[in-house]
Amino acid sequence: MTDTTASSTTTSNTTTSSTTAAGAAPATGRGGEFAALEALPVASEGGVGFVLRVLAADDPDAPVVLILPAMAMKAKFYLPLMRALHAAGVSVVSTDLRAQGESTPGLHDQPTFGYRELVEVDLARIVAAVHARFPGQRPYLLGHSLGGQLSLLYAAATADPHGRPDAGPGVAGVCVIGTGSVYWRAFAPRRWLSSFYQSQTIGVVARVRGHWPGGMVIGGAMAGRVMTDWARHARSGRYRPHGSRLDYDRLLATLDLPVLVISLDADRLGPKPNVDYLCGRIPRAALARWHVTAASGVAHRDHFAWMKDVGVIGPAVAAWVRERRVPTA
């Protein structure tokens, strides 16, 4: 599977006002440091709101990276990555996905939602806010796990000249880490039965209960339709979000933006065969691959622990964003 929760971590118009941490009390811990960052509120449909956290580079022409979290993960988990990218000369923005972290309302205080709302409604407004904060810059999307899938879907929808005119502003490229297709046959054959059983059980529970309460594979609570969309992809290998009119499989096949795909050799949730399968879905992309092994200088190489090695991963991503330099061992 591609998503779980780290065991150690627990209006339709963009709002243009922003706040900073000037005069704030000294921050303590990751949560306090994260809350002290520049905050940019963004409104989506149905009263849904987001807070974009910003670390701007001194150079106004520096590239901009927007970080999208994994399933059931809070944006503050990625603060070390934000700092590593910023130290490498990149402006960085992060935000929670709908019903996660600082986004409002909470999961049980809004109707259910799925991939369509995350990509076609929320991301369109979030990326527009990044465009407004950094005029003249098309951001790069940096997605972890589910965040990587959403990044690719959004990039494909907005890069296609024949797509919807209101799909949202475009991006300069995409980097994903720990992101692979959850299609059951993309796993190694010995895991076919377990991956099919787990994904479809999660889908059934999410459909019956209206949400996924957390547990098997997916540690945190998730919206029911996100999980049924996820389970449908796991069953068929195709992206068919509920309620969407977009043919994402065709859009992915025509995506021609730069894409950096990072896989980790100890990642059981996003193993290399699943990442390879996903790469096969974007044949026209300017694709760069980095399979992280011990020789890469990264000691922690599972689905979440790589955050302990952002001192290696952050500068490598920044070098690809700035110079298209592909990380190697």
pLDDT in tens, 167-188: 688 999 999 999 999 999 999 9
15 pLDDT higher than 80: no
Rounded Cα gap, residues 56 and 88, in angstroms: 12
What are the pLDDT digits (tens) for 98-144?
999 999 999 999 999 999 999 999 999 999 999 999 999 999 999 99
pLDDT over threshold 90, residue 8: no
Give the pLDDT score at 168: 81
CB contact set of 231 (below 8 Å; sequence gap of 6+): 199, 200, 202, 203, 204, 206
Q: What is the pLDDT of residue 328?
A: 74
Given a cut of 80, is residue 24 above it in pLDDT? no
Which of 64, 40, 96 has the alpha carbon at shortest distance from 220? 96
Kindly report, residue by residue over 183-213, the tens digit of the pLDDT.
Answer: 999 999 999 999 999 999 999 999 999 999 9
Q: Tens of pLDDT along 259-294?
A: 999 999 999 999 999 999 999 999 999 999 999 999
Beta bridge partners of 287: 259
CATH class of 29-193+253-323: alpha beta
Q: What is the pLDDT of residue 327?
A: 83
pLDDT above 60 (res 7): no
pLDDT tens, position by position, 290-301: 999 999 999 999
Domain boundaries, the chain: 29-193+253-323
User: Within 10 Å of residue 208's Cβ, how many Cβ atoms?
Assistant: 9
Give the Cβ contact number of residue 265 at 10 Å.
Answer: 15
pLDDT value at residue 295: 92
Residue 65 makes CB contacts below 8 A (sequence gap 6+) with 85, 90, 91, 92, 93, 139, 140, 141, 142, 175, 317, 318, 321
- In this prediction, residue 31 carries a pLDDT of 77
| Reported pTM | 0.90
Let me know: does 234 contact 2? Beta carbons within 8 Å.
no
